[in-house]
Amino acid sequence: MDFLPLGLKLTGQTVVIVGGGDTALRKAGLLHRSGAVIRLIAPQWRTDLCALVEQGGGDCRQRVYQEGDLDQARLVVACTDDDALNQRIAGQCHARGLPVNVVGRPELSSFVFPALVDRNPLFVAITSSGASPVLVRRLRDQLEAWLPARWGRLATFLGRLRESVAARLPGRRQREAFWEAQLDGPLMEQVLSGHESEAEHALERALAGIDGNPAAARGEVYLVGAGPGDPDLLTFRGHHLLTKADVVLYDRLVAPEIVALARADAEKVYVGKARDQHALPQGEINDLLVHYASQGKRVCRLKGGDPFIFGRGGEELENVVAAGIDFQVVPGVTAAAGCAAYAGIPLTHRDHAQSVRFVTGHRRDGSVDLDWPNLMAEQETLVFYMGLVGLKEICAQLMAHGRAPDTPIALVSRGTTDAQEVITGQLDSLPAALEGRTVHAPTLIIVGSVVSLHPRYRWFGEAGRSTPDA
């Protein structure tokens, strides 16, 4: 490697920056956060740059660079527009044995600034040794999105308890094994979800087990919304818990690409349900969550869409709560939001709808017996889940109770996937237009003036195709 990544303590140390532009401001911001005292040299500079330097107790010298500016410096950063000057600064620093970074010129530099993912006190540094800054930024952005914001809190929590654990476990290997076990257990998830007191109790139980009073193995249940179909709509927290699970229970609405994100050694159990075709009855699914968690396993129940919006998530948690098993619920992008966005249909719009209502189009007994009089507001968008079989009845009842026959309606089939199809029409014509036509589930029905905005608001990367005016 061309540069060895190191952590350097700069608190109270003088760092020289030669240059007063945008690059100097970026480097000064990073050095300021590290506690360095900055000495800024430039004939002119950004006002906010000088203010930042002075805020950290540094000084601003508004003149051309002189070699004496390097005196008592710990590091030097050269970021002027004058390449000859940057080379001269680098040569003088090398002669003094003083670390120098010439921005954009790694061959002249003795150190480089890595891109940082900051979860203070936890940091991830990324560098290409100056070969490809754009690639480094891209990787940093991906890690920023993947690494939960609360990992800094987790690092602080663990650091606060290091001494007490070390007193109980004097052997280094024993301590490492203990902490590895904790990071694979409930302690980590409790801190990341903001429940630090529960995490401390979990730690005490673990220490009690080491002291000869082992606590019973405790499993967990993660109820995770997998989104409406597109694997990219899985949340980062959902992905995090999925990759921790020992057992994954998933249904037919979960994309195979999402299931594939689980650990290779995780047990994967299909519990999918199509209309009137259940792989497992709902009661058995509820029991399975308790069954696996009672064995001390981490169980991820992957559900299409959002678990608490027509996902029967509340039902599945009943047995878990009754058994006293720890659980987490991770919301997902519900079908109404995901499918409408991918179809280019805003659910609310100042000129069309001031509210939106989610309605089940399929009762437990298979009927479509709804509170129709309360679904008549013209300025409200209606979204029917599981309404394909009852589409004709839904349209008829809406018109019978006052909705205009020419009210726009859209049916979104296999929304957010590559096979998405959007079929638009009116209440009085759409059911007849679909007779004899194969429409694939899952489907979502959107009723209201906002449907008229399709396909104008359809984004250029929309999956699938549209069939207007069915």
Residue 453 is given by DSSP the state G
44 assigned binding-site residue: yes
11 assigned binding-site residue: no
228 assigned binding-site residue: yes
Strand locations in 354-413 (E): 355-360, 380-385, 408-413
Catalytic-labelled residue, pool 69, 230, 251, 326: 251
Q: Which backbone phi and psi does 331 adopt, to 5 degrees?
A: -65, 155
Please state, in angstroms and rounded to a whole number, the distance separating the CA atoms of residues 190 and 149.
Answer: 14
208 assigned binding-site residue: no
Which helix (H) or strand (E) is 391 found in, with range? helix 391-400
| Cα dist from 430 to 79, 347, 357, 379, 425, whole Å | 65, 20, 21, 21, 5
Token couple for 297: 């396993």
407 assigned binding-site residue: no
* Residue owning tokens 């959007």: 422
Indicate if 251 belongs to the active site. Answer: yes
304 assigned binding-site residue: yes
305 assigned binding-site residue: yes
Question: What's the first-to-final CA gap in the chain, in angstroms?
Answer: 62
Catalytic-labelled residue, pool 82, 268, 273, 428: 273
Please state, in angstroms and rounded to a whole number, the distance separating the CA atoms of residues 470 and 467.
Answer: 7
Q: How do the residues of the chain divide into helix, strand and coil, expressed in percent and rounded to 5? A: 40, 20, 40
Please state, in angstroms and rounded to a whole number, the distance separating the CA atoms of residues 150 and 155.
Answer: 9
43 assigned binding-site residue: yes
Residue 440 is given by DSSP the state P
Question: Do the Cβ atoms of 313 and 307 come closer than 8 Å?
Answer: yes
Indicate if 273 belongs to the active site. Answer: yes
Find, among 231, 153, 233, 216, the residue nearest to 188 by Cα: 153
231 assigned binding-site residue: no
Judged by DSSP in three states, 433 sits in helix
Residue 294 is given by DSSP the state T
* Residue owning tokens 């010439």: 102
Judged by DSSP in three states, 358 sits in strand
Report CA torsion sign: 258, 260, 264, 268: positive
313 assigned binding-site residue: no
152 assigned binding-site residue: no
335 assigned binding-site residue: yes
Indicate the Cα dihedral angle 43, 44, 45, 46, nearest 10°: 180
| Cα dist from 131 to 114, 116, 356, whole Å | 12, 17, 51
361 assigned binding-site residue: no
Annotation: binding site: 22-23, 43-44, 228, 304-306, 309, 334-335, 386, 415
Annotation: binding site for S-adenosyl-L-methionine: 228, 304-306, 309, 334-335, 386, 415
Annotation: binding site for NAD(+): 22-23, 43-44
List residues with catalytic annotation: 251, 273
